[in-house]
Amino acid sequence: MTAHLRTIDTPDGPFTLLEEDGAVLASGWTADADAIVARLRPAFRPSTIALAEPGSGSAATAAVREYYAGDLSAIDAVPVSQAGTAMQLAGWAALRGIPAGEVLTYTAFAERSGSPGAVRAAASICARNAPALFVPCHRVIRTGGGLGGFAWGLEVKERLLARESAILQSADPQG
């Protein structure tokens, strides 16, 4: 099976996706294909990777465009494929359950993941998240409101959170 790389333009810069068999393996705000592939541990990298045909799209690229057009839930149904420990898999599943516009502290994320004492492990799960945006690790912040880290830069994380908040506030008739 061949995995495909696609890069699309977004308001936060180029966004590259590595997809295989309809699932996103890795993604992020860069045009550097090597940086995307490097997000996967070597044992889990596809053996064959090709650039997608110019102009070809996928459900994942359509979902990214819809997300940026204001449909924050568009990314939720996109399949992802991640390989890791049982704790990592549980953490990544918990990340997918954080609704747009909500943020959790690393401590609250550890609790939601079922390991309340494992705050450092929770931060590591976020750091090792390969399919960024689809598994929204950008919604996890430090206690006290600091952004914490983000593989694609704190500026991107800040803009994602601000965009989600603004879209939800504009959709709320009480807001």
Whichever domain contains 15, its CATH number is 3.30.160
Its pTM surpasses 0.95: no
Cross-strand bridge partners of residue 15: 8
68 with 11: CB under 8 angstroms? yes
Is residue 151 assigned to a domain?
A: yes
Q: How far apart are the first and last CA of the chain?
A: 48
Residue 112 has what pLDDT?
Answer: 84
Q: What percent of the chain has pLDDT over 70?
A: 98
Is residue 39 assigned to a domain?
A: yes
Examine the domain organization and report whether 20 and 65 are in the same domain: yes
Give the structural domain span for 148.
86-171
126 in active site: no
d(CA 79, CA 126): 18
At which of 53, 75, 97 does a domain end? 75
Is residue 160 assigned to a domain?
A: yes
d(CA 150, CA 126): 8
Phi, psi dihedrals of residue 65, rounded to the nearest 5°: -60, -40
Residue 115 has what pLDDT?
Answer: 80
Examine the domain organization and report whether 148 and 98 are in the same domain: yes
Examine the domain organization and report whether 92 and 147 are in the same domain: yes
Catalytic residue among 37, 63, 137, 156: 137
Residue 174 has what pLDDT?
Answer: 65
Examine the domain organization and report whether 102 and 36 are in the same domain: no
Instruction: State how far the alpha carbon of 23 is from the alpha carbons of 112, 117, 144, 173, in Å.
Output: 25, 32, 35, 36
d(CA 78, CA 163): 20
19 with 78: CB under 8 angstroms? no
In the chain, the number of structural domains is 2
**pLDDT tens string 18-68:** 999 999 999 999 999 999 999 999 999 999 999 988 778 899 999 999 999
Examine the domain organization and report whether 114 and 46 are in the same domain: no
Is residue 81 assigned to a domain?
A: no
